[in-house]
Amino acid sequence: MAGGKETPRQKMIGMMYLVLTALLALNVSKSILDAFVNIEENIQVGNITEHQRGNAQIAAVLEKSNEKDSTGQIASPRAGVIYNSMQEIDKLTAEKIQFIDKLKLMVFQAIKEDLDPKAEKPICILEKGQVLNFSDTKNPRLTKSDDFVKPIRMNLHNVQKKDAYDEQMLLMGINESIEQPNKAAEGFKVWDQMLDYRAKLPAIMVNAVNEINKEDSTKQASVFKDPKIVAFKNIDDLGTKIDGALKGISDIDLANNVKKIYSGLSKNEKIPDPKKETGPLHWIGMTFDHAPAVAAIAALSGLQSEVLTARADALTYLAGLIGGGSYSFNAVEGRAFAPPAAAAGATIKMDVMMVAYDTEKQPIVNPNQGKVIETKDGKAIVEFTAPSSGEMELTGTVGIKDKNGTVKYAKYNTTLQVV
């Protein structure tokens, strides 16, 4: 992610891919197949949680957009802007989730599974109001649903041919080559779909912030151009490459959230062959080569997990832009800020304010000069060495966690007169 660390959820999905790769050359036993069924079930449960996390943010913003002040005016005009951007995100997300669901259904069609939700042992578990067109061989899909962002619930325990793999390899375009897959294959298109999501989701976030900032003529519009990263040495190298695309974003908090989301959706397109028998393998080939049907479905559910996590993160960020309730405080303190220097007898002005802070959430300060020696009572003490004379500029960033645990950063800048 942005800070070079993966969440436990990402690590679990990463381990699933590694285990899948390690099992490719083995005679897959029933216990291993059942293990993949259980892994996929856990991913589905996690996907439901991520889906709900995102929906909670939308509901909160919708409520805010309908609130009115004492004069009858909309209390938070920007809530409407944010809600519209959230709808854009959900439209984009639904496209990707439904496409991946289509691939799952096509895998089951190829191995002749019964996809009828009314079957004695149904694979597809429909919710109230959902209608599934499971007989369409070109585009099987939900034709009716209250929420197309939510993946189709499936029970892989009811799959009869759990170990079939030829059919899904043909669908993914790797039946002839795992180094150079057939890009025209329907399954291979999931790679491009994921890249498309990675490019468009940050753009929606940036556009939302720009729309809000129109209220303030002093704020410069941010620009994000997809760096199209498909190769990186490690997470640090990925972060460095993303940073290059963030130079057009003046809002540091927006930049950090874009980086987090872009990083979480990034993969190396080419991966060295662990057997060292061929050249680099395409990610699709590496992931789906000789994968049993249930393992292939688990990998596809893993991609849905990445999409839903990115969606929830983006929605959480946008919801935080409304203000009013994003932060918690349990202490207040008076602070005064006088000029760093003054001439004898001069009239000076001093800023005095009441500062609220959370004693359980101390600020995170990253000074460009000096070092932090103490952090308490809502403030950090930065120690530095002053130059021999002249003026010293002091810069850096300061951040604090909001109620969602997301760190919001802002730049600081001040000067010191050295005498």
Kindly state the percentage of the chain with pLDDT values over 90. Answer: 62
Q: Are 289 and 280 in contact (CB under 8 A)?
A: no
For residue 252, what pLDDT is reported?
92
Judge residue 332's burial from the number of C-beta atoms within 10 Å of its C-beta, 0-12 exposed, 13-18 middle, 19 or more buried.
Answer: exposed
Q: How many Å apart are CA 9 and CA 96, to the nearest integer?
A: 20
For range 31-54, the mean pLDDT: 95
DSSP states along 367-385:
ESSSEEEEEETTEEEEE--
Q: How many Å apart are CA 394 and CA 361, to the nearest integer?
A: 24
Question: Residues 384-397: pLDDT tens digits?
Answer: 887 777 677 888 88
Judge residue 351's burial from the number of C-beta atoms within 10 Å of its C-beta, 0-12 exposed, 13-18 middle, 19 or more buried.
Answer: exposed
Decide which of 360 and 242 is more confident: 242
Question: Residues 119-153: pLDDT tens digits?
Answer: 999 999 999 999 999 999 999 999 999 999 999 99
For residue 25, what pLDDT is reported?
43
Nearest to 195 by CA among 262, 241, 142, 132: 262
Decide which of 361 and 233 is more confident: 233
For residue 55, what pLDDT is reported?
97
Judge residue 92's burial from the number of C-beta atoms within 10 Å of its C-beta, 0-12 exposed, 13-18 middle, 19 or more buried.
Answer: buried
Alpha helix positions (H), 130-188: 166-172
Query: Which residues, including other chains, have CB under 8 Å from residue 128's CB and lie 6 or more apart?
Result: none
Q: Are 391 and 316 in contact (CB under 8 A)?
A: no
Q: Residue 158 has what DSSP assignment?
A: G
Q: Which residues sit opposite 153 in a β-bridge?
A: 125
46 pLDDT exceeds 50? yes
For residue 414, what pLDDT is reported?
79
b/e string for 216-233 if b means 16 or more Cβ within 10 A? eeeeeebebeeeebeebe
239 pLDDT exceeds 80? yes
Question: How far is residue 215 from each of residues 205, 289, 322, measured CA to CA in Å?
Answer: 17, 53, 13
* pTM value surpassing 0.85: no
For range 311-317, the mean pLDDT: 98
Between the CA atoms of 375, 379, 380 and 383, what dihedral angle is there, to the nearest 10 degrees? -130
| Domain ranges for the chain | 8-320, 331-418
Per DSSP (E only), the strands in 181-258 are: none
Question: Residues 54-77: pLDDT tens digits?
Answer: 999 999 999 988 887 667 676 678
Q: Are 53 and 312 in contact (CB under 8 A)?
A: yes
Query: Which residues, including other chains, have CB under 8 Å from residue 257's CB and lie 6 or more apart?
Result: 2, 205, 313, 314, 317, 406
Nearest to 261 by CA among 321, 318, 309: 309
Q: How many Å apart are CA 373 and CA 407, to the nearest integer?
A: 21
Question: Residues 178-208: pLDDT tens digits?
Answer: 999 999 999 999 999 999 999 999 999 999 9
b/e string for 118-148 if b means 16 or more Cβ within 10 A? eeeeebbebeeebebebeeeeebbbeebeeb
| CA angle (212, 225, 204) in 5-degree steps | 35
Per DSSP, the three-state class of 144 is strand
Rounded to 10°, the helix 235-245/252-264 angle is 130
Decide which of 169 and 218 is more confident: 169
